[in-house]
Amino acid sequence: MSPCVVVWFRRNLRVSDNPVLAEALRMGLPVVAWVSESKSDLRAGPHRKRFRQESLHSLQKSLAALNMPLIREQPEGLVPRLGSSGFRVREVIGPKEPGTEESQEEASLKLALKLVDDGGLFTKGTLSFRQSQLPPLFTTFRRLVEPIRSSKPIRVAAQAPVSLISDLFPVETPSPNQRSIMVFSGGEESGQAHLRQYLASGAIRTYKATRNGMVEANHSSKLSPWLSLGCLSPQQILRGIEDYESCHGENDSTYWLKFELLWREFFRWVAFQEGRTLFLPQGIQGLAVKWRRESSLLEAWQEGRTGFPLVDANMRELKETGWMSNRGRQIVASFFTKNLGLDWRLGAMWFEEQLLDYDVASNWGNWQYAAGVGNDAREFRLFNLDKQAKDYDPTGTYSHKWLPELSPLRGFRIYSSSVPERTKLGYPEPVVDFRLSAEENRRRYEAATRKSKPRQVAPRRGR
């Protein structure tokens, strides 16, 4: 049997700027690429599944150009599969990933495994502090790591042909959803094309002012789906921003896109640091809030039938397309935890299933933050839906797109009309009273904060 090295493709589905691949090729043995379905992959809904399948299809093509076969096997099938082609696995090299299930997957692999830092702007070695000394607050973290500069791209060369046939990763061609904010097609090539198009459009110049928009594709970068599967690396995006700045000059907005990438980075290191605490109801703050678990409320929220137009429009967009803006996510997560009072983890699980860009660290970190149990001041931060509608959908355009039954209520009347006017049109009655539900949940939250000592008290973040 000939020895070979296996590259484990997890959430690093690209060949360019891939340190794991580079490390494997350095060993000078035949390299075989391998993917399997993680527990989270198996929980993915149709949009995320489709995006991943497209990404694998694209990866297989790029690897073929490097003479590297890609095989799909569950971990226990890897050794027999390679053995049947005359290969013995010397070592598996894969990216280190945040998340407890991900760590279990690493620990349960019964082969020599080398984990390499990938997927972040920094590695353990390039962070300006020891990982165990990660500051609990984003602002402190940001100050320690700024200004950020890109590192040199990692290049890989083709290997000699390997006598193993690649699996096929067919893609269906779904009819594009006409209502989706844009077409998201998975893969390194389309991720690169999207990054180039976003930068060439010049939309980055106004990013800071538009990033909370819910209607236009270029209101924000829409890079997250490619980042979440590693079709693009954050370093590649940083290089793109730097190139843009050197041609067209820096401004607040070009800086702000880097600032947001640092949020992603922060949540990533928090996830490594916190381990299973990221998934506990009491969160990083250790607050024993009495969360509810009521299936009728959960379903109404999931289906976009809560009787609150701004929440419902966002939830319907998510279910139909796999996308929701950052503003939308904050609004529906606030409503979920502060009005419905539901266990925030149920919301995070629904996002995990539905979101095209699901990312363990960003999702669970942001949900903890929304629930008031994460890396932040203890504070019952409620989003006022009327104000959010006035600020972010003043003409009602966004909600009209997703709530066709309310089309007779023109413009902003989709929000300002009375409940009977809406129910007459077949729209659901509100599942809770907005004010009373918020007061009740505030009392529950405050009762929990009185009972437990603060782990970290910080000033308001002001985003």
Ligand X SMILES: Cc1cc2nc3c(=O)[nH]c(=O)nc-3n(C[C@H](O)[C@H](O)[C@H](O)COP(=O)(O)OP(=O)(O)OC[C@H]3O[C@@H](n4cnc5c(N)ncnc54)[C@H](O)[C@@H]3O)c2cc1C
Nearer to ligand X, 31 or 313 (CB): 313
Nearer to ligand X, 72 or 264 (CB): 264
Q: Which helix (H) or strand (E) holds 94?
A: strand 87-95
Least distance in Å: CB of 198 to ligand X? 9
367 sits near ligand X (criterion: CB under 6 A): yes
Q: Is the dihedral of CA 244, 246, 252, 257 positive or negative?
A: positive
Coil/strand/helix, residue 326: helix
Nearer to ligand X, 374 or 396 (CB): 374
Least distance in Å: CB of 416 to ligand X? 26
DSSP letter at 232? S
Find all residues with CB under 8 Å of 143, minimum gap 6, and list them.
Answer: none
CA distances (Å), 335 to each of 9, 344, 396, in order?
Answer: 37, 10, 19
Q: Give the DSSP letter string of 445-463.
A: HHHHHHHS--S--------
Which listed residue (291, 358, 383, 415) binds ligand X by CB under 6 A?
358
Least distance in Å: CB of 309 to ligand X? 19
Find all residues with CB under 8 Å of 69, minimum gap 6, and list them.
Answer: 32, 33, 63, 162, 164, 165, 166, 167
CB 155 within 8 A of CB 23: no
227 sits near ligand X (criterion: CB under 6 A): yes
CB 354 within 8 A of CB 48: yes
277 sits near ligand X (criterion: CB under 6 A): no
Which listed residue (18, 38, 218, 228) binds ligand X by CB under 6 A?
228
Task: Provide φ and ψ at 324, rounded to 5°.
Answer: -155, 140
CA distances (Å), 298 to each of 211, 227, 305, 343, 353, in order?
Answer: 28, 29, 10, 10, 14
350 sits near ligand X (criterion: CB under 6 A): no
Least distance in Å: CB of 168 to ligand X? 29
Site for ligand X in 131-190 (CB under 6 A): none
Nearer to ligand X, 38 or 228 (CB): 228
Least distance in Å: CB of 207 to ligand X? 7
Span of 29-37, 81-89, 215-223, 245-253 interacting with ligand X by CB under 6 A? 215-223
Site for ligand X in 2-31 (CB under 6 A): none
Span of 75-83, 185-193, 255-263, 294-302 interacting with ligand X by CB under 6 A? 255-263
Cis peptide before 459 (omega within 30 of 0): no
355 sits near ligand X (criterion: CB under 6 A): yes
Kindly report the number of other CB atoms within 10 A of residue 110's CB atom: 10
In sequence order, the β-bridge partners of residue 8 are 34
DSSP letter at 224? H
334 sits near ligand X (criterion: CB under 6 A): no
Query: How many residues bind ligand X, per CB under 6 A?
Result: 29
221 sits near ligand X (criterion: CB under 6 A): yes
Which listed residue (7, 25, 148, 223) binds ligand X by CB under 6 A?
223
The whole-angstrom separation of Cα 329 and Cα 324 is 6
Which listed residue (47, 329, 400, 422) binds ligand X by CB under 6 A?
329
Least distance in Å: CB of 273 to ligand X? 16
Least distance in Å: CB of 150 to ligand X? 15
Span of 37-45, 131-139, 349-357, 393-401 interacting with ligand X by CB under 6 A? 349-357
306 sits near ligand X (criterion: CB under 6 A): no
Least distance in Å: CB of 97 to ligand X? 14
Span of 110-118, 363-371, 396-404, 435-443 interacting with ligand X by CB under 6 A? 363-371
Alpha helices in 403-459 (DSSP H): 413-416, 419-423, 434-451
Q: Which helix (H) or strand (E) holds 33?
A: strand 31-35
351 sits near ligand X (criterion: CB under 6 A): yes
The whole-angstrom separation of Cα 55 and Cα 186 is 4
Nearer to ligand X, 292 or 381 (CB): 381
Q: Which positions lie near ligand X, rule CB under 6 A? A: 211, 220-224, 227-228, 257, 260-261, 263-264, 267, 325-326, 329-330, 333, 351, 355, 357-359, 362-363, 366-367, 370
